[in-house]
Amino acid sequence: MKTVYVGLSGGVDSSVSAALLKEQGFLVVGVYMKNWSKDLPGFACPWKEDYQDAKRIAVQLGIEFKMFDFEKEYQEKVVDYMIEEYKAGRTPNPDIMCNQEVKFKLFYNTAIEQGADFVATGHYARSINGKLLVGKDTNKDQSYFLYRVKESVLERTIFPLGDFTKPQVRKMAEEMNLATATKKESMGICFVGKVGIKEFLQQYVDTEAGDIIDQNGKKIGQHDGAIFYTIGQRHGLDVGGGLPYYVTGKDMKTNTVYVTSRIDDESLWKKTLNLTDVHWINEAPQIGKTYMVRTRYRAPLVKGSFKEKITEIILDDPVRAITPGQSVVIYENERVVGGGIII
């Protein structure tokens, strides 16, 4: 009998994953990853509740249950990285870093060391022979967040929900009478529950007001810290005049935010994307070949190709609000080729 360590977060997706694996004949060990436990002003971290829910599921399924404490490493690899990226004026994706450094490195390595043959999570994606494929539920597909996972890790990773839709998973949870069947989705930053990014950053970074400059070089208002603004953002700009304004850039040294009132402004649209920290799961993409490209989670797929080097991709059509620090993920049909971080 093969042993699989499944990440139990206390949510419905990981609960159903564990139940399906047990049905399939695996020796299942449920693991709660304690990544974050700090309360923030006005918000209590839900980790204890999530831990208890995960434990309830393990008891209900009759499987062994463990807790892996990764809080120190999580702070260093995910939280500190995120804060430094924001300080540098970029907009990082902490979920991608969490998958790279915690779930599919720390969790994976610890599980294998303890005798696991496989690891499993509740992600909506598919892993076949070391290849990462999109999940069947196109609305819920999470392959975007997994593009930095290594081929050798994917070979020993199971995504039990890859062939199901979210409504199907909810229905299965109810039919199995799982304790988490009606639990709501956790929203907000992956490790802070209901706290928004602005409220979170304010705990770590001192900010001050600065100028908002429009496309004509005219000062039209003030912001409460350039760190809080991202390219393409429309809401949260305290400027009068009735016209909607969009963030086109920011200067962290002068604490200035640049905006435009023109949706067709050239500074809002880009065709050429320069990437850093590229990661290819199986093999590097071919120069000149057309791939499908996602410039941020849930963004529509667009066509693009690498013309001269695999750190520069040219899109067939310009895309709005390309944001430094975000990830570009490359697809070949259903397979995730890999991707990189926008410079």
- Strands 302-306 and 290-294, bridge-based pairing: antiparallel
From 98, 133, 227, 341, the catalytic residue: 98
At CA 187, angle to CA 14 and CA 295, rounded to 5? 95
Non-local (6+) Cβ contacts of 62 within 8 A are: 22
In the residue annotation, 98 being an active-site residue is answered as: yes
Residue 248, token pair as written in the block: 């086109």
Residue 242, token pair as written in the block: 């009735």
Residue 193, token pair as written in the block: 């529950």
**Residue 244 near residue 301, CB atoms below 8 Å:** no
H-helix or E-strand containing 213? strand 210-213
Place of tokens 């434990």: 55
**3 state SS of 83:** helix
d(CA 9, CA 57): 10
d(CA 244, CA 264): 13
Nearest to 193 by CA among 48, 47, 55, 85: 47
Kindly tell me the sign of the dihedral angle through the C-alpha atoms of 32, 35, 38, 39: negative
From 12, 29, 54, 190, the catalytic residue: 190
d(CA 131, CA 192): 31
d(CA 124, CA 122): 7
**Residue 162 near residue 126, CB atoms below 8 Å:** yes
**Could you list the active site residues?**
98, 190
